[in-house]
Structure formats: structure tokens, C-alpha cells
Structure 1
């Protein structure tokens, strides 16, 4: 339940009657604040922000109340949203200040939905980065040079240019080269990465005008509302609304590099069509990129498979598979690939692994299949299902203690790739850092939480 404590009194922030009755402001102040709020929402719909306009259209109850010091959107457990605003605060800001506050809150809620990684959101430096990003965008879109001030002359949020000045001084003090402002604020993650370079990131006390971190929200409600908002704005953008198109392209650009989930979300919304790109006939599967990078890291600099990241990114964007190249004249690298025949084994996984490691110069690949036993396997053959699973047998074979077809494995593998559903007793190889686990759909990812942890990623297959 969302609550606020004001002067020793607990207010339920979903109780509309109690909110309206709490220490009511002067009727004239309430009316002026309501006019500023309505004018701001009208401007959003006409020229400023289609996203903000649709978000507040989802807030069927918009309540002036002194139970909150500034403004907040409460997402209650019944699937509805309430916009709460302090009329005294809004009256002191005027219409332009109110527009800034409401636009900031809308972007904050959208980005709260986009970035769901708890580790990231728990980092105060990332919180600062998102505040810098949001306020930069709001200032630019509203044509403002400075943040609005409270009636008492106080700050209403994080000033992105002040943060950039502090960042510049910090890096120059370390003898490092800072980015200019425009490059610094290019994306949310670019801001975060640059702030992390600082010896002392300027993480201030919370001064944001919204109560997004202080007011509990129902996560499911918030996710549903923001998803509906983005879907509706995308429909308008694809239907020819240039304002909606520009705003979505800007928002997508600012979340660039946010990971697989964000790529999938924008893909599902139809970002490729909005950008005028030809839809891909086959999904770029992020486990492939992850495996290429991880395998390269196992084989060491100067004597490893090298994943050319710039070229790889271009190839992936065009729908092609990434390629590995060999660097250095060192000995041939040995990779052992083992397929679990007891689980679901998509043919596409086998085919791609064959291309990745079986046909790459400088790599000698050995193939196995296993269930309760370890069996030889020829790349290109169909993997047939079996019964039971025993990872320890693969470990024993890789480490030379078990014979297969009357022969022991005579090499020390530089990398072992296990393709499995993960459902078998855990094992601890003698060199866990060389092992890579690809877990098929619905499988157990225990290797990443094992002690010590091992490289582990879930395999996804299918078409867009």
C-alpha cells in the first residue's frame, strides 16, 4: 500500500478522499494549480510530448493534495494510476515550471520500466545518470536553458550542465580527457559510464521533483501502463505522427546499448519499421554474440580467436553471423564441444556451433554427445535423445580420466562448451574458467551461481 507520513499522520496515497481532504490549500491556489496542470497536459498533446500526454491520459484520477510535497504518480494494485500534485508547489512554479515537472516525471516512469535490472537501478551513480539524461532531454524539448526554481528559490532537480562541469574538473584532476557535453549526454549508459570514470561522482541527496523512489508503486501496473503508452505512441508514429516518431526515435537512441531485453522490447514495438529498416528474416540471437566474445576471452590475447567487434556489430546489424579470426602464430587451440542428448537440442544451435568453432582456422574442435554416458559425435549429424544426464563423465573425459570408444582424451582443452538443459548434479571442473555453459530453453542456469561461477548463458532460438 502506498503511504506518506505528513506531520505524524499516515496518508494512504491510494485513498482519493483522504488525499483531497488532507490539509487542503486555499481554493484559489488549487484552481490556479489545476489550470497550470491542464495547460501543461494540453501542450504535451499538441507540441511537446506524445509520450507524456498518453501517460497522463492513463491517470484517470488527478488529485491536488498537500499529502505530497511536489508531485507523484501512484500505480496502485488495482491496475489504475493516480497523478498527485501539491497545489501550493504547482502554483509557485507557474505553467512552464509545471510542464517541466510533469514531463520529467513521465520520462522517469518510462525509463523505470525500460531499465529493470535491479543491480543497475540500485547504483546511485546510475540514478544520477538517468536524472542527468532526463533533465537534458526535458530542457531541450521544452526549449529551456535552466531548471525551474521552487517558490523559495530552491532547486527542482539535477542540473545536467552542473554535473558535466563537476565531471570535467574531476577527470582533468586525474589527468584524464573528459568528453564534451554533447558526447557526454548522448545516451543514458554513456552518462553512466563517464560518471563511473570519476574519482568522486557527485551523487547528491535526492532533490528530484518527483517521488518515484519514495512512493511505492505496483510494478505490474506500472509495466502494463507504460507498455500500453509506448505501444500507442508507436501506432501513432507508424501512422504518420511526426512528433510521436521523433520522440520514440530519441527515446530508443538514448537507451542504446541497454542489453538484450531492451533490444527485444524495441523490436517487438516495431522500431525497425519506424527507422525505415528492412525487417530481418532471422533474429540476431544475443547468445551467439555472447558466446563469440566469451570463447575469445578463454583463448587469451595473442593466441586466441578474435571477435572483431566493430565488424561484428556491422555484420549483426545486417543479419549475418559474426566471424572469428585467429591472431598470432601460436599453437592450434583445442575446443571441446559436448551436446546433452537428454534435453531439447535445436538443430540451429548445432549448425551454428559447427560454423563458429568447427570451421575456424587455428582451432581444433572435438565433439561429444552425452546423457548418462559419453559418446563420440560427428558435426553435422543429428543429435538423438537419450536417458539420464551425468556431467561428471564429461568432466572426467575432458580431464583425461575417462575413455570413450577405448581412447582417452589426450589434449588439455582451452575451452569446453557444454550445451545442455542443465538438469543434472552440479560439477566442479579442475579449471572452471575454461568451461562455457549454453543452457537450452527452460533449463537451469546453475553454473553462473556455482562456487566458483562459470560462464553461462541461455540459448534462445526462433524467428522474429
Structure 2
């Protein structure tokens, strides 16, 4: 149903996955379309810069963003062909203005996340849960976007007002003669809103009003939603682990809001490794999610390369014209150099070393340089015995990696794409020349100072069992 309506809408007038039909359906005035597009672009920029890393990443997955009067407001569709589409009514966006457009785009992005986290059909078909989603999403939108109220058109608020729903909830429970929660307790988590609305004799449904409610079973393919949303949350998690304060704050807020939602939601967060943001692991699971984190971070640091080739046809033509043959560049070819440094002065879980060895072996085209170190650097090959036990000095690894330190008369003549440090972290802190290329795996009981240092470095704790 359309954003802001309180009645069940008509079915879409055209097939919402037919992009050409959407664009052709009763097109709006060209000036209105252009203004709506400008507002949409500015709102997306604002979301990405200051307000919501999750919303910004979701809209990067919407390769088609279509202005159409076939929808009354706005919607994000995840279709069975694996694509996401943003639909928006240009007249609606122009009437809302920039702040309103930003609010609606945040709202629609959050609904995609909700659909991913709370994917059980019985929940999606429950109108009380639908209302609870509208309440929680609009409350979070107001907080994150620092808005005092809902968007308005001609002075009238558009959408479900969380405070209004809370007042109706308290009046209903007061009439029953039972206790109710204050507003802060009421909206504490997504499930608290759903639970408390379920205590009402007459919940105000079917009140929620968004196109996506109508499209749950026709326009939102769950497999696509899960894939896109998992990719988005993982990307935001990596940004948070690298020191992006806005991404970290938003993920922590989302974690808090989904507390008590059940084992499935906890499992989703555990598979992503998001509990690490607040120092909690899943005690009933044996998923070493730091491994997935390392794969994702490492992949983001490996650079694209090129290779030189001799173009036969072009070379023959140049030779016929009397020119010297020339090599040409062709790519991309993955060129990866990794330095893996193991701190042998402290405890080193064997399975961490084994898994790192397997990881390097699985990455196509990677060249790995293995080091053990305590107070000195000792290069070795996987399978060889490593020695250590003295004091720890991270500076010797830095100096070796940056080409200032020779070991047995030899220097590292490669420029590494990434440096993986496996250590307990207990030594004098240091800052490398390129901190964004360093990845720290901290063993149990260790000090994770690299992520607290400025600039922060990628850092994660690993488990010993």
C-alpha cells in the first residue's frame, strides 16, 4: 500500500518489474521528473555521507532507479532475476522535499533489512507485525536522521507516527485495566513493539502504509533480499571494523533493536560476525566468523594488476608499416603479495596457522611471505619449525616489510598488498607507513590496541578452540 495511506490499495497498474512499462505509464512533467531525480540524488548522498551506511549501500545495489507514476510513493523491489530496483513517484518526491525524500529512502532501505532479518512468513502475514515494523522503522529514522517529526505534505504528516501508535496502545491497555510501558520501553526493540501491540484488544491495523507491504509476495524475492542484504551488512561491518564511526554506531543500534528476536536472527548476526562489535560471541556455535571477516578484509586490500602481452595482429601490422613491435597491457590480472607474520613469543593456536596456510593456498595467484618474529624477524616456509620465545617487537616487522631491515643480508623486494599480523598484541605500539594495509589477528587474551590507535587498523580476535 502507498506510504501514508490507511486503506488497502489497488493492485499495481503495470507489472512492476517491467522497467519500460513503468517509465511509459502516464509520465510526469519532465521538469518534475528532473527535480525529483535531483532530490533523490541529494538524499542518497546525504545518507551515505552522514546518516546511514546501510541505506547508502543498499541503494548502490539498485542498478535501476526509476521515476514512475505507477506507484504512489516509493518502493525497493528485489525481483527473481537477482536485481534490485528503486521506484519513486516524482510528484510525491517533489511534494516531500529533500528532508522527506531522505526519510522515505531510509524507511524503504530499512524495510529490506527487516525483511531479511524477520523472514518468517507467519510474521510477514501478521498485520500487527507489519504495524510494528512501521513503528520501529519510523522511530529509528527520526533518531538517525535527527528529525523531530514525520515528513509532511501540505502541512499534514505522511506515514505512521510512533508516538501516535504509543498513545493508542496506552489508551487500549488502560481501558483493560492492565499496565503499559512508557515510550522508551515500548520502542526499545523491534520485538518489544510487536509484543506490546499484541496485548491490545484493538491494534490500529491495517494501518501501515508502504508499497512494499503489498509487494511482499509479488515483488520481493526472498533469495535476492537475503543475498543483497547480507552483502550490504557485511560491507558495513567491515567499514565499522576499520574505524567508520557511523557504520559502527548504526550496526550496534541494529543489533540492540533485534535482541530477543529468536535463534534465527542471532544466527544471522553470528554468521556475519557482527557480535564482535560489542565483544560478544555465539557460545552455541563453532563458526569461526573471524575467518570470513579476514577473507572479506583481505579481498578489499588486494589490488588489480596488469600483464604485458604481445598483440600478434597489431604487431604484424606495425611491422608491415615499418614500426618497431610494442608490448601492450592487458588486464585485469590479480597480482597479490601478502606478508604473514606470526608472533612466536606468545601462544599461537595451531589451527590459526593451519587455516591461514590453507587460505593462501586457495587464493589464486597469491604470493605469500611467511615470517615468525619475537625481537627479530625470522622468515620461514609453511611446515618448517619456527623459533621464538624472546621479547616482542612489532617494529622489526614494520621495518622489514617497508624495506629498511635486511635479514641474513636480504631485504623484502616486494611491495605487499596486505600484512597479516597474528599476535597477542602485547608489545610496544607502532604505526606503519600504510596502516590501511595491515590486518591484525589477536589471539585469546591479547590486546586489540591496533583498532583503538589513530588511524585505526583492521583488527579482530581469533579463537583458540
Whether TM-score is above 0.5 comes out as yes
Q: 2:250 aligns with which of 247, 253, 274?
A: 247
1:25 equivalent to 2:28? Answer yes
1:43-442 counterparts in 2 under 5 A? 43-151=46-154, 155-208=157-210, 210-214=211-215, 216-277=219-280, 279=281, 283=285
* CA displacement at 1:126 relative to structure 2: 1.1
C-alpha separation between the residues in 1 aligned to 2:53 and 2:164? 28
C-alpha separation between the residues in 2 aligned to 1:70 and 1:211? 10
* CA displacement at 1:154 relative to structure 2: 5.0
C-alpha change, 1:149 and 1:168, in structure 2 (3 Å) is same
CA contact (8 A) 1:139 1:145 kept: yes
Q: In structure 1, the residue corresponding to 2:144 is in which secondary structure?
A: helix
CA contact (8 A) 1:109 1:212 kept: no
C-alpha change, 1:78 and 1:188, in structure 2 (3 Å) is same
1:165-186 CA-partner distances (Å, limit 9, x unpaired) = 0111111111112111001100
C-alpha change, 1:205 and 1:46, in structure 2 (3 Å) is same
Structure 2 gaps, min length 5: 1-8, 288-463
* CA displacement at 1:205 relative to structure 2: 3.6
Query: Which range is displaced more, 95-104 or 18-27?
Result: 18-27
* CA displacement at 1:97 relative to structure 2: 0.4
CA contact (8 A) 1:108 1:212 kept: no
Q: In structure 2, the residue corresponding to 1:116 is in which secondary structure?
A: coil
* CA displacement at 1:62 relative to structure 2: 0.5
C-alpha separation between the residues in 2 aligned to 1:165 and 1:103? 25
Determine the structure 2 residue equivalent to 1:434.
Answer: none
C-alpha change, 1:9 and 1:168, in structure 2 (3 Å) is closer
C-alpha separation between the residues in 2 aligned to 1:246 and 1:64? 32
C-alpha change, 1:13 and 1:240, in structure 2 (3 Å) is same
C-alpha change, 1:280 and 1:180, in structure 2 (3 Å) is closer
* CA displacement at 1:133 relative to structure 2: 0.6
C-alpha change, 1:9 and 1:108, in structure 2 (3 Å) is closer
1:254-295 CA-partner distances (Å, limit 9, x unpaired) = 111111111111111112321134x4676399xxxxxxxxxx
C-alpha separation between the residues in 1 aligned to 2:124 and 2:34? 37
C-alpha separation between the residues in 1 aligned to 2:69 and 2:284? 54
* CA displacement at 1:34 relative to structure 2: 0.5
CA contact (8 A) 2:270 2:282 kept: no
C-alpha separation between the residues in 2 aligned to 1:17 and 1:128? 33
CA contact (8 A) 2:248 2:277 kept: yes
Report the TM-score when normalising by structure 1: 0.57
Structure 1 gaps, min length 5: 1-5, 286-462
C-alpha separation between the residues in 2 aligned to 1:118 and 1:282? 26
Q: In structure 1, the residue corresponding to 2:77 is in which secondary structure?
A: strand
C-alpha change, 1:204 and 1:9, in structure 2 (3 Å) is closer
CA RMSD of aligned residues (A): 2.3
C-alpha change, 1:280 and 1:23, in structure 2 (3 Å) is closer
* CA displacement at 1:155 relative to structure 2: 4.5
C-alpha separation between the residues in 1 aligned to 2:170 and 2:129? 18
